[in-house]
Amino acid sequence: MTLDGKKIAILIAPRGTEEPEFVQPRQAVQDAGAEVTVIGLEPGEARTNNSDLDPGGSYAVDMTIDQVSAEQFDGLIIPGGTVGADTLRGNGDVINFVEAFFDQKKPVGAICHGPWLLVEADVLDDRSLTSYLTLQTDIENAGGNWLDEEVIVDEGLVTSRNPDDLPAFCAKIVDEFGEGRHAAS
């Protein structure tokens, strides 16, 4: 599947985004031909973590959340990382950005703790998804159907549990971004 001409947004927190969950999906969609924009809360660079506790790398923020809208993009990637996802879900502009992708029926990929943003955006009614195990109750309380599977696709929404699921997650986001909007979502 080629993503030539597709513009994909990927979120990153100022610190605490899980490095492999940021790096590998970004690389997968770039390798498929997409133009990827790294969106953060602050300009400059953002620091990632590995296994939530170990320092990761530093990555340039292309645009800040106040400079973008969902209309500019064909898809959205939400990496995990406990601290990073919690920081992002506490920002109203980020939540509005995420919600707009669902309103516009554009594909979204969220892995590990990334689905916390979907809970906060209130977009999970009757959707099937997965996440890191500890988000199960949050997802179910938000109206989602939580399943313990490597990757779940629900009409444009792609979710996975943890970094071990990255190969399946990356393959499915490329497929879904290639398909584009989903009328039933």
What are the two backbone dihedrals, phi and then psi, of residue 142, each rounded to the nearest 5 degrees? -90, 5
How far apart are alpha carbons 18 and 26 in whole angstroms?
A: 13
State how far the Cα of 91 lies from the Cα of 66, in Å rounded to an integer.
11
Catalytic residue among 112, 121, 124, 157: 112
Which residue is catalytic, options 6, 113, 127, 161? 113
HEC readout, 99-143: HHHHHCCCCEEEECCCHHHHHHHCCCCCCEECCCHHHHHHHHHCC
Is 112 considered catalytic here?
yes
Helix (H, G, I), strand (E, B) or coil at 162: coil
Output the CA–CA distances (angstroms, integers) from residue 83 to 11, 80, 112, 160, in the order listed.
13, 9, 12, 18
In the chain, what are the helix, strand and coil shares in percent, each to the nearest 5? 40, 30, 35
Q: Among this protein's residues, is 170 annotated catalytic?
A: no
Q: Among residues 76, 92, 94, which one has the least CA distance to residue 25?
A: 76
Active site residues: 112-113
